[in-house]
Amino acid sequence: MNAVPRRSFLAAAGLGVLAGVAGCAPGAHRPVAATYLTTSYDDLYPGVEMFLGKARELGGFDFDVFPSGQLLGAEELVPGMLHGVADVVLQTSSYVSSSFPILGSLELPFTTEDFDRYLRACDPDSEVSRLINQGLTGQNMRMLGGMATGFEYLWTIDKPIRTPEDVRGLRLRVAGEIEGETVKALGGAPVFLGSAELYQALERGTIDGMMSYLGTVVSRDLQEILRYGTAAHFGAYTVDAYCRNDWYEALAPRQRHALDEAGRVLFRDGTAKLVDVHEHEYLPAVRDAGVELIELDEARLRPFRDAVSAVHERWRALLGDPAAAQRALQLIRDA
């Protein structure tokens, strides 16, 4: 895909205010990095800074950085990047996996209950990541690396979830299509809401709970309302650095190496920081607020795995490449 002028894309998308931001950016000829994440994400934003710092150190990239959706909102980041509005974006995979279905391989529920194995699959140098980039190349996108945010749990206000039957009829907030399919497979009703709307929706009873990783709970103070969290691999996603493949290939070898190494730092050091924050700050905050974390033994996990098998089949059909789907899942299980 050929890049179009940044102002043209923004105007075509009806984003006049953002067009003004992009046009007035100091040194607009410099590479642009954008994310919807804010500096208040204590578990995620340090990884963003690590990525940008390493790219600057090794490749001389003097990015104009637009956090907090200042240039492109969460759902606009990747389309904007593909149209040349930004050169590198840091984005949650769940926002884009319906358009780039190979990314869904790392979001599917119950591919593995071993988080260390899942982490190895997320490594930018893993066979899984290589397969993902092979699939992305045809859509002119490249994944440089990403942070694994931890498994997504089911969180509820009034009703603990111990069996798939407990999900039936519950309205659960989701942030991506695979999450939505998982909730539907368990008998619930998925509700798509931004994280900023969650506190009020839970407080008013508009929703009964949510499917999310731990960081969403604490960053929005939802532990003040939630009462139960069922801890299992109901889903997962990554926060990745993406760029256009043609832009990447046109760079000097030193700069390509810098971006690849920055992706490794994002994965390795960014994820390590995230895990540390979760273990030493977020989990204690949830427990201190009185939220009951429900652990499921093997016998209780089996019905959940059986129920979500339809989600795997739908993803295979969406990907449209049975061999690639089977290889991706096997690589994750063998990581």
Q: What is the mean pLDDT of residues 238-257?
A: 97
End-to-end C-alpha distance for the chain, whole angstroms = 33
Contact 209, 157 (CB under 8 A): yes
Looking at CATH, the fold of the domain delimited by 6-104+135-148+238-279 is given as D-Maltodextrin-Binding Protein; domain 2 (3.40.190)
Q: What is the mean pLDDT of residues 283-311?
A: 97
Count of Cβ atoms closer than 10 Å to residue 137 Cβ: 12
pLDDT in tens, 307-323: 999 999 999 999 999 99
Q: Does pLDDT of 216 surpass 60?
A: yes
DSSP string covering 155-175: EESS---SSGGGGTT-EEEES
Whole-Å CA distances, 29 to 1, 8, 49, 85, 262: 20, 16, 21, 11, 22
All CATH 3.40.190.170 domain ranges in the chain, comma separated = 6-104+135-148+238-279, 153-235+285-334
Residue 304 and residue 237: Cα distance in Å, rounded? 19
Alpha helices by DSSP H, listed for 25-76, are 45-59
pLDDT in tens, 82-109: 999 999 999 999 889 989 999 999 999 9
CATH for 153-235+285-334 is 3.40.190.170
pLDDT in tens, 160-211: 999 999 999 999 999 889 999 999 999 999 999 988 899 999 999 999 999 9
Contact 121, 332 (CB under 8 A): yes
